[in-house]
Amino acid sequence: MRKIEGRNPVLEAMNAGREIKKLIIQKGARGRSIQELIERADKLNIPVEMAAKSELDRIATSSNHQGVVAYADEFRYVHIDEILQFAEDKGESPLIVILDRIQDPHNLGSIIRTANAAGVHGVIIPKHRASGITPVVTKTSAGAVEYTKVARVTNIARAIDELKEAGLWIVGSGLEGDRSIYQADLKGPLGIVIGSEGEGMRRLVKEKCDFIVQIPMFGQIESLNASVAAGIMIYEAVRQRRFS
């Protein structure tokens, strides 16, 4: 079983239809969100236990459980084909985010939250040397993982080949890009590659990209946090696809 921590992430998991095995609430916790959780648990026949804060501190993975921890089924990763089919069912050109070894769960959670808000059809992450869907990722995403299709693959380069065969163009972000993100055409079927914190995209992944763009930098700092870069890339694609 996996743990879901925090009031909103647990509520979103319930709303999304995830099977919750048990809900633990801190003794003395109050507020509308706590009452809503208890009422939803009652309707869904989810057992509710009350526990001291020290007990929740002990079992929680994240540092801010907000007095709520739920035990649920393991997160279900999807296949790439499911992401592509999801886009087709919506009658939209696929927009997919590909993460090359994002290791910080806070960054992963933030990227998934942005991807969901922007209507991205799915996120692809690697199985090795990268964060998976953890309680911290779930909490940071504000529950967006419950609604976002995430594929976990053995080989990112091979996954990019699969996307190319499906007709997607692949764009990466890097200082070596030959054009600005604002000069690139991001309107069609697209995969956006975001490299790891500090190291960026691996050489083979970079070579798989059809083109690489730069995010303009006008200050003294030459790089952005991975989740910030992802947000800029995603929303420029959204702007071009929906507002131009």
pLDDT tens-place string over residues 162-193: 999 999 999 999 888 889 999 999 999 999 99
Domains in the chain and their CATH numbers? 2-72 (3.30.1330.30), 80-243 (3.40.1280.10)
Residue 63 has pLDDT above 80, yes or no: no
* Reported confidence tier of residue 55, pLDDT bands at 50, 70, 90: very high
Give the pLDDT of residue 223.
Answer: 84
Mean pLDDT over the full length of the chain: 94
Strand locations in the chain (E): 2-5, 20-26, 48-51, 68-72, 95-99, 122-126, 150-153, 169-173, 179-180, 190-194, 211-214
Percent over 70 (pLDDT), the chain: 100
Contacts of 96 (CB under 8 A, 6+ apart): 83, 120, 121, 122, 123, 124, 163, 168, 190, 191, 192
The three-class DSSP label of residue 213 is: strand
List of residues 6+ apart from 109 with CB closer than 8 A: 136, 137, 138, 139, 140, 141, 144, 145
* Gap between the Cα atoms of 127 and 206, Å rounded: 19
pLDDT for 121 equals 98
| Average pLDDT value for residue range 115-133 | 97
Q: What is the pTM (predicted TM-score) of this model?
A: 0.92
Q: Per-residue pLDDT averaged across 41-64, rounded?
A: 92
Confidence of residue 244 (pLDDT cuts 50, 70, 90): confident
Which of these, 227, 215, 213, 118, lies nearest to 170 by C-alpha position?
213
Q: What is the pLDDT of residue 175?
A: 82
Quote the DSSP letter at residue 215: P
Q: Is the distance from CB of 37 to CB of 25 less than 8 angstroms?
A: yes
